[in-house]
Structure 1
Amino acid sequence: MTLVYQSTRDAHNTVTASQAILQGLASDGGLFTPTTYPRVDLDFALLKDASYQEVAKLVLSAFLDDFTPEELDYCINNAYDDKFDTPEIAPLVKLNGQYNLELFRGSTIAFKDMALSILPYLMTTAAKKHGLENEIVILTATSGDTGKAAMAGFADVAGTQIIVFYPRDGVSKVQELQMTTQTGRNTHVVAIDGNFDDAQTDVKRMFNDSDLRDKLAAHKLQFSSANSMNIGRLVPQIVYYVWAYAQLVKAGDIHAGDEINFTVPTGNFGNILAAFYAKQIGLPVGKLICASNDNNVLTDFFTTGTYDKKRAFKVTTSPSMDILVSSNLERLIFHLVGNGAEKTKELMEALLEKGEYSLTDADAAILDLFAAGFATEEQTAAEIKRVYEENDYIEDPHTAVASAVYKAYKEETGDSRPTVIVSTASPYKFPVVAVEAVTGKTGLSDFEALENLHDLSGVAYPQAVDGLETAPVLHDTVVATADMQKAVEDYLQV
């Protein structure tokens, strides 16, 4: 029986996996979400020796079950190839007291590559499957990494356009240059005078604007999303949790069936939600530790049951987590209220209208799976330094947030289960932060810091930053948040 994906806001709005991937966001504003979970044979006696591609085939064929085996092979083999600088795709590094799952070995040195390498293939395959003649317009907001990874994936892919909005003062210089130097005739990048939440809110509004949808359709265009709001972005992220567990079994550090924890730095909640789905298909997970920076809205939610975005937005050294409206939390809320679309819609409308909602009656077993904490700027810098001094290994600030939160969690609970820190970006993406934390040097430019980081870490320059300083800037548009739709219409000539 084909897996059903339902909108979190309307029980009657159901689609298959390929339809969900094409649409990106449900027309009612909800997110397509599985209401049941597929059966997956997680036999770690076999999986410990499987390649990343083989683990991907196992997981994706279960969740994306209206794709044929041949279609999935095509997507997987084109995604997980030599774009990654290691054949393991996602190496697991053993440090003092933790394991770091390096998800930054792809072409843009951030974890978004893990899913955005495959999404274009899934999307174009789905379009062919459904005889879609419209050009697909990928419309996305980014807090720094999704934009570059999505553009790298979709650049010059036939039948697609991609438009990325980012907060002008809310990303690192390296992140900004990675986006503004992106080649590809179908790529468009726009900075906004606002923060990520402003960009994401208006992107969602455009998705739900029926007049704009009709205008696009008249020009044989339709929106889809590369954010983790798209189930085709989220499902491939489940793979690396299964893969990490298999690597621990292979190393002899755990036995199949032993519980482990994952600590995930997250702003939009997609990455940790993928770990939740891995647990639902049988991965032996003890705790999922949700790590936030000073924008600690998720920590407060898991502590109090109230989600309250009415607070100051803070620009931090871990900008990909500078988010106050965690879109993917909506999927977890849906599950917490017994897959109740009506209740979920009511809560999301309260968030929009009042800036907060409270969850009074929730599935206790699901809530109990999560722990949450946050790291301040000072704690994050101190953690980068500690990990370097103890392991001669440099974490980026997002990974350091997770590392610091895990350290505090372990001290508070005494939980001694093996724990994987989900390492979401290379320190080369945030060189000034990393070098300042380790050495105390201040006032460095990004490119001076890159040289220092190379000397400190002994790690070769990733291709993603090599030559970035001299690459020509191809995108320099800046608009007010109120003018985002006009920019989209201008690019698409509608």
Structure 2
Amino acid sequence: MDLIYTSTRNSDEKATASQAILKGLAGDGGLFVPDSLPKLDVDMDTLAKMSYQETAYEVMKLFLTDFTEEELKHCINSAYDSKFDTEEIAPLVDADGAYYLELFHGATIAFKDMALSILPYLMTTAAKKNHVKNEIVILTATSGDTGKAALAGFADVPGTKIIVFYPKNGVSPIQEKQMVTQKGANTHVVGIHGNFDQAQTGVKKMFSDKELAELMDKAGYQFSSANSINIGRLVPQIVYYVYAYAKLYENGAIAKDEKINVVVPTGNFGNILAAFYAKNLGLPIAKLICASNENKVLFDFFSTGTYDRNREFVLTSSPSMDILISSNLERLIYRIAGNDAEKNAEFMRALTEEGKYMITDEMRAQLADFYGNYTTEEETAEVIRDLYEKTGYVIDTHTAVATGVYHKYVKETGDNTKTVIASTASPFKFTRSVMDAIDKEKYDSMTDFELVDELSKIANVTVPQAIEDIRSAEVLHKTECDVEDMPKTVKAFLNI
């Protein structure tokens, strides 16, 4: 029986998994969600002995039911190969009482690689399956990491083009350098004069612009997305939570069926939603701990039941989380609204028109598995320094936000359940912020790449290839535009 996907805003819009991957976003601006959440059909003793690739197949086959075994295994084995610098793909590190799930060993040293390494294969397979004749134009907004991971994944993939918009002054210098030096005849990168939310809203508007869609179709193009609004991004993220649990069990760190807590640094809500889906598959997860930075819109939502983006946008040292409109939260809202597309559409309309919505007490009661908190900039730096001084282990700013919230949760609740912290980026991606946190006075006068070498020395970790590659790389993308000119910029790239 194929699993069918439905738009969160229109229960009449249905798609198979491959169609949902191709579309990215539903025609009405809604997100595709599975009509029901399947259950894992492999026992933990079997999973414990599996490789990452084998685990990926067992999880993804439950969601991508119109892919054949051969197609899905081809996508998985093409994605999770030597482009990752560790054999385990997602290793676990035990440091100071928590297990850090390192999700940054791919080509662009951030967790986005975990899904964006496979998305191009899923998408080209889906295009063949659905007899798509048009060239697919991947249109993506990034707060820093998705952009580079998507560019690397889709560079020179036949039948595709990719256009990435990022906030010109809202990403780290390393993140920007990674994007603007990207090679590939089909790649385009644009710095917008605005923030990530404006980039994301601009992209969503283009997806629902019927006139633009007709123009594109005439020219032989159609849009799809590499953002986590695409179900083809979300499903691969479920895998690493299942894999992490199985490895902890295999290593004797947890007993069979013992519950764990999971902490996720969260901006767009996709990564923690994947953990929520893993829990619903039957994985023994107790609490889902949602960690925010000073843009604490999600913390306020979990505390009050009101989602309110009407606030100052703060630029922090964890820029991938500098987000006030958490797109993937819509999938959770739809679910706790009883899969009621009409009700969900009303909430999303209120968010667009008034900048906020309030969920019912009934809906709030269904969020008991979640805990939200945030860390300040000062606390984030303290966490990095403290962990390094205690253990020699160096984490990036986003992972530090998660660690800070984890400490607050334990202090507040006394809950000492074994915990996995999603470590979402390499410290090398945010070198200056990380080294400033460790010893600002000592490192202040060094250049970004001198800091890279110093970090390698103090953490006793080899400089990742992704960083070596951009040391002297030529800047290839110099386009900038105002928010309102995003559609014009896309048309210029596509000559339409």
Q: Distance in 1 between matches of 2:147 and 2:469?
A: 20
C-alpha deviation, 1:256, in angstroms: 1.8
Q: Look up the match of 1:32.
A: 32
Inter-partner Cα distance in structure 2 for 1:84 and 1:94? 21
The corresponding residue for 2:205 is: 205
Give matches, 1:358-437, under 5 Å. 358-363=358-363, 366-437=366-437
Indicate the residue corresponding to 1:447 in structure 2. 449
| Structural mapping, 1:143-182, within 5 Å | 143-182=143-182
1:217 maps to which residue? 217
Counterparts of residues 74-473 of structure 1 (less than 5 Å): 74-363=74-363, 366-441=366-441, 442-473=444-475
Structure 2 residue aligned with 1:44: 44
CA shift digits 1:86-119 (9 cap, x unpaired):
1100001111110000000000000000000000
Q: Is the 8 A contact 1:103 1:424 kept in 2?
A: yes
SS where residue 264 of structure 2 aligns?
strand
CA contact (8 A) 1:42 1:282 kept: no
Distance in 1, matches of 2:447 and 2:28, equals 45
Q: Relative to 1, partners in 2 of residues 1:251 and 1:153: Cα closer, same or farther, differing over 3 Å?
A: same
Structure 1 stretches (4+) deviating beyond 6 angstroms?
none
Q: Is the 8 A contact 1:337 1:361 kept in 2?
A: no
- Distance apart, 1:49 and its partner CA: 1.1
Calculate the TM-score normalised by the size of structure 1: 0.99
Offset of residue 448 of structure 1: 2.2
Using the TM superposition, give the Cα deviation of residue 363 of structure 1 relative to its aligned residue in structure 2, in angstroms. Answer: 3.8
Deviates more, 1:361-370 or 1:473-482: 361-370
Number of residue equivalences: 494
Amino acid at match of 1:431: T
Which whole-Å CA distance do the structure 1 matches of 2:206 and 2:487 have between them? Answer: 7
Give the partner amino acid of 1:26: A
Deviations 1:175-233 (A, max 9, x none): 00000000000000000000000100000000000000111011110000000000000
- How far, CA to CA, are the matches of 1:171 and 1:165 in structure 2? 12
Following the alignment from structure 1 to structure 2, what is the Cα–Cα distance between the partners of residues 26 and 486? 23
Contact 1:263 1:422 in 2 (8 A): yes
CA distance in 1, matches of 2:306, 2:445: 40
1:344 counterpart letter in structure 2: N
Q: Distance in 2 between the 1:268 and 1:445 partners? A: 31
Deviations 1:113-168 (A, max 9, x none): 00000000000000000111010000000000000000100000000000000000
Over the residues paired in the alignment, what is the CA RMSD in angstroms?
Answer: 0.9
Matches within 5 A, 1:483-494: 483-494=485-496
Provide the secondary structure at the position in 2 that maps to 1:62: helix
Q: Conserved in 1, the CA contact under 8 Å of 2:39 and 2:280?
A: no
Q: Secondary structure at the match of 1:290?
A: strand
Separation in 2, partners of 1:443, 1:101: 32
* Alpha-carbon distance in structure 2 between the residues aligned to 1:206 and 1:10: 19
Letter in 2 for 1:446: D
Shift of 1:315: 0.2
Mapped partners of 1:246, 1:366: distance in 2: 27
Q: Distance in 2 between matches of 1:416 and 1:409?
A: 10
Looking at structure 2, the residues matched to 365 and 232 of structure 1 have their Cα atoms a distance apart, in angstroms, of 29
Conservation of the 8 A alpha-carbon contact between 2:2 and 2:66: yes
Please give the alpha-carbon distance, in whole angstroms, between the structure 2 residues aligned to 1:170 and 1:271. Answer: 21
Q: Is the 8 A contact 1:76 1:118 kept in 2?
A: yes
Q: Is the 8 A contact 2:101 2:423 kept in 1?
A: yes
Q: CA deviation at 1:443?
A: 4.4
One-letter amino acid of the structure 2 residue matched with residue 248 of structure 1:
L
Equivalent residue, structure 1, for 2:57: 57
Q: What SS does the corresponding residue of 2:402 show, helix, strand or coil?
A: helix
Check whether the contact 2:305–2:364 (CA below 8 A) recurs between aligned residues.
Answer: no
3-state SS of 2:151 partner: helix
CA contact (8 A) 1:156 1:184 kept: yes
Output the CA distance in 2 between the equivalents of 1:228 and 1:426: 20
**Aligned partner of residue 367 in structure 1, secondary structure:** coil
Q: CA deviation at 1:4?
A: 1.2
Give the SS at the match of 2:471: helix
1:280 alignment partner, SS class: helix
CA shift, 1:38, in A, is 1.6
Give the AA of the match of 2:493. Answer: Y
User: Structure 2 counterpart of 1:270, which letter?
Assistant: G
Return the alpha-carbon distance in structure 2 between the equivalents of residues 233 and 467 of structure 1: 26
Amino-acid identity (%)? 60
List alignment gaps of at least 5 residues for structure 2.
none
CA shift in 2, pair 1:362/1:443, >3 Å: farther
2: CA distance between counterparts of 1:342 and 1:459? Answer: 51
Name the CA distance, whole Å, in 1 between partners of 2:378 and 2:261: 25
1:298-336 Cα deviation digits (max 9, x unpaired): 000000000000000000000000000000000000011
Give the counterpart letter for 1:29 in structure 2.
Answer: G
Matched, 1:2 2:2: yes
When residues 365 and 286 of structure 1 are mapped into structure 2, their CA distance, relative to the original with a 3 A threshold, is farther
User: Structure 1 residue 364: deviation in Å?
Assistant: 5.0
- Structure 1: which amino acid aligns with 2:248? L
Report SS of the residue matched to 1:125: helix
Query: In the aligned structure 1, how far is the partner of 2:193 from the partner of 2:364?
Result: 41
Deviations 1:471-493 (A, max 9, x none): 00000111111111111000011
Aligned-residue offset at 1:381:
0.1
Q: Partners of 1:232 and 1:446 in 2: how far apart?
A: 34
Q: Secondary structure at 1:77's aligned position in 2?
A: helix
**2:109 is paired with a residue of what secondary structure?**
coil
Distance 2:418 2:278 in 1: 17
| Aligned-residue offset at 1:365 | 5.5
Deviation of 1:455 after TM superposition, in Å, equals 1.6
Q: Structure 1 CA distance, aligned partners of 2:53 and 2:256?
A: 20
CA deviation string 1:408-458 (max 9, x = no partner):
100110111100000000000000011111122324432121122112111
Show the counterpart of 1:479: 481
Whole-Å Cα distance in 2 between the matches of residues 467 and 291 of structure 1?
A: 31
**In 2, Cα distance between the equivalents of 1:356 and 1:104?**
34
Deviation digits for residues 257-298 of structure 1 (CA, Å, limit 9, x no counterpart): 111000000100000000000011100010000000000000
Normalised by the size of structure 2, how large is the TM-score?
0.99
